[in-house]
Amino acid sequence: MCWSKLVLAAALSASLACVSEAGCYRGRPKPVIPVEDYHYNDEPAPLMAAKHMPRRFDWGNVDGQNFLVPSWGQHQPKYCGSCYVHGTLSMVQDRLKIRKRGKGPDVMLGRQSFLNCGAYEGWGAGCDGGDPIDLFRFMVKYGLPDESCFTYTATDHREFDQTLKHCPASAFCRNCMPINETADSCWAVKTPVLYKVKSYGKIEKPKHGNIEDVMMSEIYHRGPIVCSISTPEDFTYGYRGGIYNDPLNYTKESIDHNVEVTGWGEEDGKPYWNVRNSWGNYWGTLSFFQLQRGINSLFVNEDCWYAEPTFEEEEEVLDGDFSGSMYGLIDNGKESSSSAPFMQLDQALSRVRQELSMQLGRAGGDASLSSEVEAALSQVSGLASRLASSAKDLAQPASA
């Protein structure tokens, strides 16, 4: 069978489009973020001139200790324009490790949880791209669980009910443990361990000095940063290690990718950035590459961000204030024998909802419950939650 010239032209066009989509934005222009949104609750790191900092510094080797968690690959099980998620969360989880002074276990944050839920709240476009600030805003308001809540599938919010105003709980964190011999569906974990962001900011050129001083100061004092870059074809498919030789023959409109900058160094007198990509360990030098510093290579200086994460809930679990369960965290300080039956009722109702849906599906009908049944179950579930809350309040000692 022969391909017509028209079909061949279309195929070539699609192939070139795939090259241009090596980053996140799928051919769309990168959105402009208003200046008033550049900072939230933050104070920039102390500014130092590059000449006063080490010639070589990287969070992968600080006096022999590694503060970087493992790298990711965003292109499997299929392509998803989620570099903004990977670059940003790599930075945040590395900063978590730094704040914990290297104490394990390492935290790998829930990429899929955000891809499933971010767009419901107006932050990011799932696999069609987004920006670091989308992750920051989400983590300030809601927090994000680790990746054990939802394995990365390279899909997004479009896999779920688009008529809902908010992300369904089972898209954020779920448990697929069978609840009986016939059950085969997953159910929501409503109280996972959450990690939050308390502040964030954009790296801006100072009144005195240059923007690379600000980038290096932020990295040196607090941890890696996430930056946008352009991804020309010779970089995407031709990088073979060492310092990337940038032809500087493209425009800022080509910026379409996000990466994590973890440190810097020099080789034969040429300064460079150490950068982590999200294209798998088979790309570059085990997912990393070196980018010439001092020439704004790939426009790396144009759009860099940082954030300060918190891990209070993890600490509360380790301190014994919370206990884990198949349904999520249980507050040991508020749990009482009087509230336990109502909590068990709420959990039982969740199992009833799942079982009814599965039985309908096995009977060959629509697996979704009618609105009347859903409303009734929701009312009883809400009543159980309120009764449990009231029982907890009654169990608390009166304040002095």
Structure tokens at 59: 């969070």
The average pLDDT across 38-64 equals 95
Give the C-alpha separation, 143 to 137, whole Å.
9
For residues 379 and 237, which has the higher predicted lDDT (pLDDT)?
Answer: 237
**Does pLDDT of 322 surpass 90?**
yes
Question: What is the model's pLDDT at position 345?
Answer: 62
Structure tokens at 329: 């965290």
Can you name the residues that pair with 289 across neighbouring β-strands?
A: 275
Task: List C-alpha distances in Å: 73 to 9, 69, 83.
Answer: 31, 13, 9
The average pLDDT across 200-227 equals 96
Query: What is the average pLDDT score of the chain?
Result: 85
Do 109 and 281 contact (CB within 8 A), yes or no?
no
- Identity of the residue numbered 342: F
**pTM beyond cutoff 0.85:** no
Task: List C-alpha distances in Å: 184 to 147, 275, 374.
Answer: 21, 42, 20
Class of residue 60 by CB neighbours under 10 A (exposed 0-12, middle 13-18, buried 19+): middle
Residue 363 burial (CB count, 10 A)? 9
How many residues in total does the chain contain? 400
**Does pLDDT of 374 surpass 80?**
no
Question: What is the model's pLDDT at position 145?
Answer: 99
**pLDDT tens-digit readout, 264-307:** 999 999 999 999 999 999 999 999 999 999 999 999 999 999 99
Question: What is the model's pLDDT at position 333?
Answer: 84
Task: List C-alpha distances in Å: 216 to 21, 243, 264.
Answer: 29, 18, 8
Place of tokens 């989620």: 82
Q: Backbone phi, then psi, for 258, in 5-degree steps?
A: -125, 135
Structure tokens at 124: 């990011």
Question: What is the model's pLDDT at position 394?
Answer: 43
Structure tokens at 236: 């995407």
Exposure b/e, 143-174, CB count within 10 A at least 16 = b = bbbbbebbebebbbbeebeeeeeebeebbbbb
Do 228 and 299 contact (CB within 8 A), yes or no?
yes
Nearest to 93 by CA among 115, 112, 71, 62: 71
For residues 63 and 337, which has the higher predicted lDDT (pLDDT)?
Answer: 63
Q: How confident is the model at residue 261 (pLDDT cuts 50, 70, 90)?
A: very high
Question: What is the model's pLDDT at position 334?
Answer: 75
Question: What is the model's pLDDT at position 310?
Answer: 98
Task: List C-alpha distances in Å: 69 to 104, 192, 237, 298.
Answer: 10, 21, 25, 25
